Homo-oligomer: A and B are copies of this chain.
C-alpha cells in the first residue's frame, strides 16, 4: 500500500491551470508515487478572481495530465471550500486528504503555515514564473488578447473555449459594480 512517505500534496486555485502549475505537477510526478492535488476555493466561481467552477478546474487538471502522457492513476483530487486563512486550515487539508508528508508549493504563506505544523515543504526547481500567473492570464483574456494561450497547456485552452470561458471572463471584468457581484 502507498504510504505517507510516498505522497506529496499540492494546493492551488487553478484559475486557470497554467504552465507554472504544470511544472510543479510534473516535479511531483517524478518524485512521488501519488500526488494529491487540492482545488482551493472550490465553493467559489463566476467572480473576476475565480471565474471557473471546481469541476471545470478538475477537468483542466485531468486533461493536462493525459496530454502530458502522465499516468492518471497517481492523481488524487480533493476539493476544499473557501476558508479563512489560518493555521487551522492546514488541518482541513489534513482531514480531507489521505495522509502525506511532503508539500510542494511556491506560495510563501502556504509554505509558512505548513512548516509551522511540521510538514516537509519542498521548493520545486525554480522556473522563471514570468507571466505564468492566473491574474496575468485572466487580464489577457479580458482584454481580448490571444497571448494567454501560450501560457496554458493546450487542453486548458480547449476547455476554456468549449465552456465559453472567454466571454464569461470578459463579462466578469466589464462592469464591476461595487460589491454588487457578491450578491447572487
Residues of A with Cβ closer than 8 Å to B? 1, 11-13, 40-47, 49-50, 53-56, 58-59, 62-63, 71-73, 76-99, 107-113, 133-135, 155, 158, 168, 171-172, 174-175, 177-184
Contact = CB atoms under 8 A, between A and B. Distances in A.
- What is the interface of chain A mostly: helix, strand, loop, or mixed? mixed
Q: Which 6 A-B pairs have the closest CB atoms?
A: A40-B183, A72-B73, A88-B91, A91-B91, A49-B179, A109-B181
A142 to B, nearest CB: 13
A77 B76 contact: yes
B183 A95 contact: no
Nearest to A179: B49
Given A46-B113, A175-B108, A181-B109, A95 B87 contact: yes
B1 A184 contact: no
A76 B62 contact: yes
A42 B98 CA distance: 12
Contacts of A58: 76, 78, 97-98
A109 B51 CA distance: 11
